[in-house]
């Protein structure tokens, strides 16, 4: 008997023996014996049908004969796979109440003759997968340890998952290596409730020819799918199409090695129905090498409500580290992303989105890009060395951008612009951010509405500190709303600029070491108050008013005039 096999048996039966001996001591002083354990233990190589992990003959029939013991069982059927390679030439059908335990050196290997079909999927009690819907096809299935290998994908001609679960509840996959798929998913969850994937490693992917550079053609290593369709085209073929979504699924502590798409869902319904809910993606490492030209999106947050993406590490030339679209209640927190081809974090649409505490560096476009939807806050993020803007808002509504640190943005540190010209791009507070070494302006507002730009620290800015090109900053003629209490030093142009639009008040700012003016108004910019600013060491003027608006009240400013 193998060492790992002995350990499993010892663990299982040792616990039962301990409970049986100890019993339960009642108040009467009597000892009540424990009942027998609620599982049935099997070693796969003891199957009546031949299973030999040392030869190259198919083991599917023998393995299936042991899996069939779970049919109709009310207790857990535990099946142990000793070390070795088990050759699969027919999909293994797994029933409710099954626990597969693979030795760390055990491998289920998809043979060349079966490379266009799944290695393993769940079925109902009649061995069917296209009859029972909701979460009722299978329950209580665990796969633990070992390797499930999709085989030689160079010989594949049809995209097929390696492992798939449909219409199921209480699904656990842990401490496994699952690898090698062609143009499909390594693991697919379709309409799964209470699922967990943890401690696993995913690797080995090949795209269909011609799809490598189409980043909208996503094939996530783990797909979290709804059992729905577009027109007459099912999202997941072979499943009951009844709108069952995934609920309460956790993807945690996994490693995705050189994978072009990590985890998520890329489809959604337009009417908001059938969305996945309560999905948690945490503590995963997702990488793709620079040589992999097919890298797309690491975490796809589309069509999911109540989604948490936290403490993940993402490296490689992905288009986006995280992409949010048509989702409600999304938290993206404390993730690290490096080397993206486009944006670090992209929000196209969605509601109640929070982006906080993320570290983003070496990004080829924006660190964080908000192109629509409603975002509660963008806070505490550290963004370094981005080729466009540190934080870019070009549509949608944002409550606050606060406490972020942005260094070495080639364009603006923070850019707020209404690119559609619909006057629906708005932001309440840009507060307490630290911005340095930008290629253009520190904070730039254009055709958008911002209530407050206050408490920010801007230094070593290649153009101007805070710029209004058009739109508005403030609220009516308020003296306390607008551009307030910022510290601006070392700009190669101006400290604060208004070219057009409206600013309620420019007040209590500390401005120093400007290559031109401290505060500069031009065009038809309408600024109601310039009050109580401290301005010094500007090469030209402390305050320059070249605007056609002549009613600006300038009072109480100190330092350079």
Q: How far apart are the first and last CA of the chain?
A: 90
Say whether pTM exceeds 0.85. yes
Residue 422 — pLDDT band, cuts 50, 70, 90? low
Do the domain assignments include residue 50? Answer: yes
pLDDT higher than threshold 50 for residue 416: yes
**Residue 471 near residue 447, CB atoms below 8 Å:** yes
pLDDT higher than threshold 50 for residue 32: no
pLDDT of 40 reads 74
Find the mean pLDDT for residues 461-476.
97
Residue 561 — pLDDT band, cuts 50, 70, 90? low
**What's the residue count for the chain?**
561
181 - beta bridge partners?
Answer: 205
Residue 267 — pLDDT band, cuts 50, 70, 90? confident
Which among 411, 516, 416 is positioned nearest to 471, based on CA atoms?
A: 416
Find the mean pLDDT for residues 403-432.
90
As to burial, measured by CB atoms within 10 angstroms (0-12 exposed, 13-18 middle, 19+ buried), residue 52 is: middle
Do the domain assignments include residue 232? Answer: no
Structure letter (DSSP) for residue 327: -
What does the mean pLDDT of the chain come to?
A: 90
pLDDT of 215 reads 61
pLDDT tens track for 218-249: 789 999 999 988 778 767 788 899 999 999 99
**Residue 62 near residue 92, CB atoms below 8 Å:** no
- Dist. CA 11–CA 347, nearest whole Å: 47
60: three-class secondary structure by DSSP: helix
pLDDT higher than threshold 70 for residue 2: no
H or E, element range at 1: none
**Residue 458 near residue 465, CB atoms below 8 Å:** yes
Question: What sign does the CA torsion over 509, 515, 516, 521 have?
Answer: negative
pLDDT of 234 reads 67
Q: Where is pLDDT greater, at 295 or 467?
A: 467
pLDDT higher than threshold 50 for residue 30: no
pLDDT tens track for 147-195: 999 999 999 999 899 999 999 999 999 999 999 999 899 999 999 999 9
Residue 212 — pLDDT band, cuts 50, 70, 90? low
Do the domain assignments include residue 81? Answer: yes
Question: What sign does the CA torsion over 336, 198, 292, 294 have?
Answer: negative
Max distance between CA atoms of the chain, in angstroms, equals 97
In terms of DSSP H, where are the helices of 144-224?
A: none
pLDDT higher than threshold 80 for residue 208: no
Question: What sign does the CA torsion over 107, 262, 281, 224 have?
Answer: negative
pLDDT higher than threshold 70 for residue 28: no
pLDDT of 193 reads 98
Find the mean pLDDT for residues 320-343.
95
Lowest mean pLDDT among 24-38, 113-127, 191-205, 351-365: 24-38
Do the domain assignments include residue 441? Answer: no
Find the mean pLDDT for residues 245-255.
98
Do the domain assignments include residue 186? Answer: no
- Dist. CA 335–CA 355, nearest whole Å: 10
pLDDT tens track for 299-314: 998 889 999 999 999 9
Q: Tell me how many degrees the CA angle 68-251-369 measures, rounded to the nearest 5.
A: 145
Q: Which residue has the tokens 């992917």?
A: 205
90: three-class secondary structure by DSSP: coil
H or E, element range at 221: none
How much of the chain exceeds pLDDT 70, in percent? 90
Q: Where is pLDDT greater, at 47 or 337?
A: 337
Lowest mean pLDDT among 89-98, 262-271, 311-320, 512-521: 262-271
Q: Which residue has the tokens 């319904």?
A: 269
How much of the chain exceeds pLDDT 90, in percent? 77
Q: Which domain range does residue 46 map to?
A: 1-114
Do the domain assignments include residue 318? Answer: no
Our count of domains for the chain comes to: 1
For residue 425, count other CB atoms closer than 10 A to its CB: 27
H or E, element range at 7: helix 3-22
pLDDT higher than threshold 50 for residue 22: no
155: three-class secondary structure by DSSP: helix
Residue 482 — pLDDT band, cuts 50, 70, 90? very high
Which among 499, 533, 493 is positioned nearest to 513, based on CA atoms?
A: 493
pLDDT of 204 reads 92
Rounded to an integer, what is the distance from CA 281 to the centroid of its chain? 7
Question: What sign does the CA torsion over 213, 214, 217, 222 have?
Answer: positive
Report the half-sphere exposure of 112 (CA within 13 A, side-chain side).
Answer: 4
Q: Where is pLDDT greater, at 138 or 10?
A: 138
- Dist. CA 372–CA 411, nearest whole Å: 21
Do the domain assignments include residue 70? Answer: yes
Three-state secondary structure readout of 269-314: CCCCCCCEEEEEEECCEEECCCCCCCCCEEEEEECEEEEEEECCEE
Residue 37 — pLDDT band, cuts 50, 70, 90? very low
Do the domain assignments include residue 18? Answer: yes
pLDDT of 29 reads 36
Q: Where is pLDDT greater, at 326 or 151?
A: 151
Q: Which residue has the tokens 């708005």?
A: 426
CB under 8 Å to 416, separation ≥6 — which residues?
393, 425, 427, 430, 443, 444, 445, 446, 448, 450, 471
CB under 8 Å to 7, separation ≥6 — which residues?
none
pLDDT higher than threshold 70 for residue 36: no
Q: Where is pLDDT greater, at 302 or 280?
A: 280
- Dist. CA 444–CA 460, nearest whole Å: 15
In terms of DSSP H, where are the helices of 184-266?
A: none
């Amino acid at each position: 008997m193998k060492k790992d096999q002995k350990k499993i048996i010892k663990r299982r039966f040792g616990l039962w023996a301990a409970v049986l001996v100890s019993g339960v001591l009642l108040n009467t002083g009597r000892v009540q014996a424990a009942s027998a354990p609620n599982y049935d233990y099997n070693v796969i190589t003891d199957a009546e049908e031949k299973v030999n992990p040392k030869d190259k003959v198919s083991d599917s029939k023998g393995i299936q004969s042991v899996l069939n013991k779970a049919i109709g069982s009310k207790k857990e059927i535990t099946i142990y796979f000793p070390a070795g390679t088990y050759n699969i030439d027919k999909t293994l059908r797994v029933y409710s109440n099954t626990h597969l335990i693979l030795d760390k050196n055990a491998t289920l290997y998809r043979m060349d003759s079966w490379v266009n079909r799944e290695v393993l999927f769940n079925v109902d009690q009649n061995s069917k997968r296209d009859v029972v819907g909701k979460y009722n096809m299978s329950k209580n299935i665990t796969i633990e340890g070992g390797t499930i290998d999709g085989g030689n994908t160079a010989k594949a001609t049809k995209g097929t998952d390696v492992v798939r679960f449909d219409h199921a509840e209480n699904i656990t996959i842990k401490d496994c290596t699952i690898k090698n798929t062609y143009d499909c998913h390594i693991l697919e969850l379709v309409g799964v409730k209470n699922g967990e994937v943890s401690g696993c490693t995913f690797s080995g992917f090949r795209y269909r020819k011609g799809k490598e550079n189409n980043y909208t053609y996503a094939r996530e290593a783990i797909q979290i799918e709804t059992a729905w369709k577009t027109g007459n085209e099912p999202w997941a073929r072979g499943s009951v199409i009844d709108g069952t979504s995934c609920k309460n699924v956790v993807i945690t502590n996994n490693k995705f090695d050189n994978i072009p798409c990590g985890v998520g869902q890329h489809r959604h319904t337009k009417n908001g129905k059938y969305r996945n809910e309560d999905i948690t993606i945490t503590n995963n490492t997702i990488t793709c090498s620079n040589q992999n030209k097919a890298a797309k999106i690491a975490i796809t947050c589309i069509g999911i409500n109540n989604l948490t993406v936290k403490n993940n590490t993402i490296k490689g030339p992905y288009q986006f580290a995280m992409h949010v679209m048509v989702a409600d209640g999304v938290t993206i927190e404390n993730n690290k992303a490096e080397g993206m081809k486009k944006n670090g974090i992209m929000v196209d649409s969605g509601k109640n989105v929070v982006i906080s505490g993320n570290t983003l560096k070496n990004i080829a476009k924006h660190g964080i890009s908000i192109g629509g939807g409603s975002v509660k806050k963008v806070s505490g993020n550290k963004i370094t060395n981005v080729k466009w803007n540190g934080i870019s808002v070009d549509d949608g509504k944002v409550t606050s951008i606060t406490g972020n640190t942005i260094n070495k943005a080639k364009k603006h540190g923070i850019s707020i612009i209404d690119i559609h010209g619909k006057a629906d791009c708005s932001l309440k507070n840009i507060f307490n951010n630290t911005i340095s070494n930008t290629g253009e302006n520190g904070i730039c507002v254009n055709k958008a509405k911002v209530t407050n730009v206050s408490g920010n620290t801007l230094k070593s800015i290649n153009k101007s500190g805070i710029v209004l090109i058009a739109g508005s900053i403030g609220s009516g003629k308020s003296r306390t709303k607008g551009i307030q209490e910022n510290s601006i030093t070392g700009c190669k142009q101006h400290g604060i600029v208004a070219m057009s639009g409206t600013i309620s008040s420019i007040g209590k700012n500390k401005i120093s070491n400007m290559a031109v003016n401290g505060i500069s108004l031009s065009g038809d910019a309408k600024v109601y108050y310039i009050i109580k600013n401290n301005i010094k060491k500007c090469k030209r003027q402390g305050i320059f008013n070249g605007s056609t608006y002549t009613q600006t009240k300038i009072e109480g400013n100190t330092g350079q005039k």
